[in-house]
């Protein structure tokens, strides 16, 4: 999950800095420039997730547990990225692809919110359902990045 987000963010980041973008369309350049701030925030989310995962791995559990970190940092950032993704002025050629990203990030925010609620409520069924959705989101996001990479090259 976290590793895939990082790899995807790095992939798009490397494409944004690539001077070999096909000059046949300025729409690709415009789209990459317009989504770059979102990709930076997506990278921040991945960093926060990695930090949390390392704390869990190292048994560095705060007195209040991890629910406050999850619900007060991870969930709001995921929701913010989703909301901001829906405000991007997207070139027509990229609209369908971007709409897919908006849905992916909406589903991720919903999964993260449900995971946080499941932690607070100690609801195993809800946790399992949220983790399944999150797993699907990771795969869909990775496919999205692969599709963008193909279209940019």
Question: Tens of pLDDT along 27-45?
Answer: 888 898 899 999 999 999 9
Q: How wide is the angle at C-alpha 139 spanned by C-alphas 136 and 145, nearest 5°?
A: 140
pLDDT tens digit sequence for 96-150: 999 999 999 999 999 999 999 999 999 999 999 999 999 999 999 999 999 998 8
Residue 42 near residue 82 (C-beta atoms within 8 A)? no
Instruction: Tell me how many helices (H) and strands (E) the chain has.
Output: 6, 0
**How many CA atoms lie within 13 Å of 67's alpha carbon, on the beta-carbon side?**
12
Stated pTM of the model: 0.80
d(CA 13, CA 136): 23
């Amino acid at each position: 999950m976290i590793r895939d987000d990082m790899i995807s963010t790095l992939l798009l980041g490397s494409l944004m800095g690539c001077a070999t973008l096909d000059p046949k369309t300025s729409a690709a350049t415009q789209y990459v420039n317009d989504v770059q701030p979102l990709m930076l925030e997506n990278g921040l989310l991945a960093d926060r997730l990695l930090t949390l995962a390392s704390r869990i791995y190292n048994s560095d559990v705060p007195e209040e547990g991890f629910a406050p970190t999850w619900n007060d940092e991870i969930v709001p950032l995921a929701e913010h990225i989703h909301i901001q993704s829906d405000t991007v002025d997207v070139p027509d050629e990229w609209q369908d692809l971007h709409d897919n990203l908006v849905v992916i990030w909406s589903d991720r925010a919903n999964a993260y919110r449900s995971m946080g609620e499941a932690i607070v409520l100690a609801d195993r069924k809800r946790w399992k359902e949220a983790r399944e959705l999150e797993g699907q989101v990771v795969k869909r996001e990775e496919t999205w990045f692969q599709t963008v990479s193909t279209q940019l090259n």
